[in-house]
Structure 1
């Protein structure tokens, strides 16, 4: 894949500004069931006007400019405006606390900040230094900042098609910080361009696709496939209004491509089982005459009836759930990547999926397994390094230029990659045996009443599992009859798992926790990954008592 033949991000949007000038590019909900459509001409035009305003601020060359907002049309237009004005964009998760907001803005040296659609601006704004110049989006909480609409009405559009150098820093993406302070991943324009070209070409993405944008644009997964993918191919992007309107938003978009993290795929499945018990659904799907009708009805109710490819990433998905969706006729492709390579690493190829494997290398990606079993990746979209951290950058690469992923894995005969655990997550029992929690957690996630799992047990004789129930199961957990049934099914599942693993990996007990693990209580990262150390610390003072109790199922 030659860089010279690959259009850079700004070149992509200049192309669509004329080639599809009056085609609707983005559809933005604005409340009350109403939406605003942005054609390519309007979207690029507003970005040009905002770029004029940014240039009028006379900021130092290549200044860092932050974007803190939930996904919306203005998030993408602000990104373009920052690039057009010659600066570098710094996305911030819309769920961060004030301390982390302050850390990122100060570490990156942000000169300005776009403030957009947020649920808890009051809890964030104290982290924004007074010296930073702020601009508010139309959907932002009430502020005294200059507003997007006023500024684009006042400033003329940049007339020239500003170009940026392929090797120039485009964006600093701060990792979601499952442990410690987030690191600033530096990505150049070339990396963004190559990822967009490779991913959309492999899946034969066209300008006729539709996608719903709702996973954080501040994370590379959504930014690569939705923002850069749509910029590359010119397809239409819809935005979700809120969690409450998600199903309505999905039905409005009727996506042909759809992305979700494992927790969402699990919630969708649980939602289906709430309307129709799994055993009844399985029985109906075995009837040839009804099979096709039932499958279509299930996918239509989810708003996924037009989906050609659906993607899952960020964490492993249970094999049972993968097979369940594929049996419904949904081509559910798993992907694998990191912030450090703009998520451009591996994906399942249509028709070549192997359950338990995250797919094959994307075009231009080279992968090998180290002697220690670590997955090493060399991607054309690999970062320039960590911002202001040469030592961590040096530690992250091998001498021959491969990125150390921190994941353990193995390759099959077709080069498909299987992730077997995180090197840092592997723990040792008191017997000196090492355990990778991920494979055991995947088996536990197959239970329909399980929402999240954490397998732990460092320095104990055997591992144990902490289980968070699904919302529906949690609401019924005080019912003695339901609890008895659940306990029986968990006991059976644990026995089944213990038969399939090595002796030192057998679970001692399953502890069912009371309550939820959320971003708000700091158990999850903004990308819904479990903060394993936080979970383990929360129950540390009870674990020894649980081991002494000698019970198979423990209710916290």
Structure 2
């Protein structure tokens, strides 16, 4: 049985509360949060953030809720999200953030399951009707608090943030958490079934921050962060919230999808995380301005190569980045290599909510492509010899699933967490993911298929934006794809030839039973709004397969190799 581990530290590490109080005292006038509004910013210093969080903590305590009550937070990323989260733990309560894209039925499920007695409602401005559609799912009697400056504040049932700031005194003695106190409940994005509430205590967060301080470059002067991935997800919570508190850095936000590129270029983050789909969009954006053949030519000319690389990095806003990460979903090796040619060294990180997203990361001084990096100090990993499942053990595992003891016992045994991922571990502690236990399926021929490994074969095709390999009841796999912008603009015959070339190059590398029989180009993209993608941009495989289930057999029997829905 393969095993990788490193010794844990003995001293009690600092909590997030400790970090904030340190910076509030030592650099009160330094800007902590920068909220873009058009071409300007609303800036919040450490002192101002502290004052607002303390006033809100006073208000939360005035509600008379029992100590350690669950308090919900539904908003896209913004300065008030982080201030509200601070207020929740300053007042001795538990933060329970939700995705801002939930509908009424979805928020009802998580609100009732979590038992939240108060809810912050904030930035939902991608859709003016979002709160109106969500609100009917909020249980009666919940205390509602509205962030300022956003459309939801027009609801008279929301107590205005600014009113609380004007009427509540700052809480002087903030709650000092004990290691075993519950810090947050993070609901998973629900790729399969209902979201599960992952309970994280203060000890776990402190241990994770302490053990990853060198890897996460906590000693970076004037650290800057760009917050746009959902803050209710463990990855953004780690890279932006926890690391900004540990470094005393500045957090910039994206104002909207339309201003994303401009906001990122202005922020010039030193620490940056993007999921693979974002990196793909960056790549397509670069190639739209400079086709691959032209880029290849420029990169061969020494002086011009340096100029082009710098211009691209500056255009993205990554010229000053010291840590560039990808995670939350598998990243194709070809995409990592493509950016590396531009001098953008993307470090793949691996983890899940249940282990705070901190299992392994690719070091820059010993890159081993194809793996998800080297196991962190303080994290133990072993591979189940029967199933190949990855098991993890550390001081920062979840306490369990909220109100789900049976489910908790099914994944936490003897201190080891069953991740649901299948993989291998080499003698140097490098981890490779080969699939998901639940995603593997048996074909009509009785052979097991790991779809993600087949999907990687389409990663270099610029006409493909999303892919889902399906066919549980078919003799051979069938690939459902959504075209990229480039694919939608291309001639139909060019798309078909390109996909046929991909199939012909991929299939000989696969076992006979894994070879892709058909490619179906589906009409509608898979999005968060149509429930075919999670808020962290991972496809909901089971939902997609259910949507197209009745058509799979007819498509499979179609004479064409490339089929248009």
TM-score by length of 1: 0.96
Q: In 2, distance between residues paired with 1:138 and 1:203?
A: 33
Query: What's the counterpart of residue 159 of structure 2?
Result: 146
Query: What's the counterpart of residue 242 of structure 1?
Result: 256
Q: Give the 3-state SS of the residue equivalent to 1:171 in structure 2.
A: strand
Cα distance, 1:20 vs. partner? 1.3
Over residues 221-273 of structure 1, what are the superposed CA-to-partner deviations in whole Å (9 max), with x where a residue is unaligned? 00011101111111111011000000111111011111111110001101111
Q: Give the 3-state SS of the residue equivalent to 1:41 in structure 2.
A: helix
Question: What stretches of structure 2 of length at least 5 have no aligned partner?
Answer: 1-7
Are the aligned partners of 1:426 and 1:437 in contact in 2 as well (CA < 8 Å)?
yes
Q: Give the 3-state SS of the residue equivalent to 1:518 in structure 2.
A: coil
Q: Give the 3-state SS of the residue equivalent to 1:204 in structure 2.
A: coil
Query: What's the counterpart of residue 41 of structure 2?
Result: 35
Query: What's the counterpart of residue 209 of structure 2?
Result: 196
Query: What's the counterpart of residue 397 of structure 1?
Result: 412
Query: What's the counterpart of residue 137 of structure 1?
Result: 147
Q: In 1, distance between residues paired with 2:240 and 2:501?
A: 42
Aligned residue pairs total 549
Q: In 2, distance between residues paired with 1:23 and 1:214?
A: 22
2:103 aligns with one of 97, 100, 104? 97
Structure 1 outlier segments of 4+, above 3 Å: 1-5
Higher RCO, 1 vs 2 (CA within 8 Å, ≥6 residues apart): 2
1:424-435 to structure 2, matched below 5 A, reads 424-435=438-449
Q: In 2, distance between residues paired with 1:355 and 1:321?
A: 11
The alignment status of 1:69 with 2:78, answered yes or no, reads no
Say which is worse superposed, 543-552 or 58-67, in terms of deviation. Answer: 543-552
Q: Give the 3-state SS of the residue equivalent to 1:545 in structure 2.
A: helix
Query: What's the counterpart of residue 3 of structure 2?
Result: none
Over residues 143-183 of structure 1, what are the superposed CA-to-partner deviations in whole Å (9 max), with x where a residue is unaligned? 22221122122211111242110111111111111111111
The alignment status of 1:459 with 2:435, answered yes or no, reads no
1:132-531 to structure 2, matched below 5 A, reads 132-140=142-150, 141=152, 142-144=154-156, 145-205=158-218, 206-371=220-385, 372-398=387-413, 400-474=414-488, 476=489, 482-531=491-540
Q: 1:449 to 1:3 in 2, by over 3 A?
A: farther
Q: 1:355 to 1:550 in 2, by over 3 A?
A: farther
Q: In 1, distance between residues paired with 2:411 and 2:94?
A: 23
Are the aligned partners of 2:462 and 2:487 in contact in 1 as well (CA < 8 Å)?
no
Over residues 37-62 of structure 1, what are the superposed CA-to-partner deviations in whole Å (9 max), with x where a residue is unaligned? 11111111211111111111111121
Over residues 360-380 of structure 1, what are the superposed CA-to-partner deviations in whole Å (9 max), with x where a residue is unaligned? 111210000002100001122
TM-score by length of 2: 0.95
Over residues 465-523 of structure 1, what are the superposed CA-to-partner deviations in whole Å (9 max), with x where a residue is unaligned? 1111112322x25xxxx111121111111111011112211111211111211001110
Q: In 2, distance between residues paired with 1:542 and 1:158?
A: 60
Cα distance, 1:406 vs. partner? 0.5
Are the aligned partners of 1:344 and 1:379 in contact in 2 as well (CA < 8 Å)?
no
Q: In 1, distance between residues paired with 2:563 and 2:51?
A: 60
Cα distance, 1:201 vs. partner? 2.2
Query: What's the counterpart of residue 88 of structure 1?
Result: 94
Query: What's the counterpart of residue 542 of structure 1?
Result: 551
Cα distance, 1:533 vs. partner? 1.1
Cα distance, 1:275 vs. partner? 1.0
Q: In 2, distance between residues paired with 1:162 and 1:387?
A: 23
Are the aligned partners of 1:445 and 1:452 in contact in 2 as well (CA < 8 Å)?
no
Are the aligned partners of 1:375 and 1:409 in contact in 2 as well (CA < 8 Å)?
yes
Q: In 2, distance between residues paired with 1:201 and 1:55?
A: 37
Q: In 1, distance between residues paired with 2:462 and 2:395?
A: 39
Query: What's the counterpart of residue 4 of structure 2?
Result: none
Are the aligned partners of 2:217 and 2:323 in contact in 1 as well (CA < 8 Å)?
no
Are the aligned partners of 2:186 and 2:353 in contact in 1 as well (CA < 8 Å)?
yes
Are the aligned partners of 1:170 and 1:189 in contact in 2 as well (CA < 8 Å)?
yes
Q: Give the 3-state SS of the residue equivalent to 1:202 in structure 2.
A: coil
Are the aligned partners of 1:374 and 1:408 in contact in 2 as well (CA < 8 Å)?
yes
RMSD over equivalenced CA pairs, Å: 1.3
Q: In 1, distance between residues paired with 2:149 and 2:361?
A: 35
Q: In 1, distance between residues paired with 2:141 and 2:331?
A: 44
Query: What's the counterpart of residue 59 of structure 1?
Result: 65
2:84 aligns with one of 78, 92, 114? 78
Question: What stretches of structure 1 of length at least 5 have no aligned partner?
Answer: none
1:122 aligns with one of 111, 117, 132? 132
Q: Give the 3-state SS of the residue equivalent to 1:200 in structure 2.
A: coil
Cα distance, 1:98 vs. partner? 0.9
Cα distance, 1:432 vs. partner? 1.1
Q: 1:526 to 1:458 in 2, by over 3 A?
A: same
Q: In 2, distance between residues paired with 1:529 and 1:203?
A: 24
Are the aligned partners of 2:462 and 2:486 in contact in 1 as well (CA < 8 Å)?
no
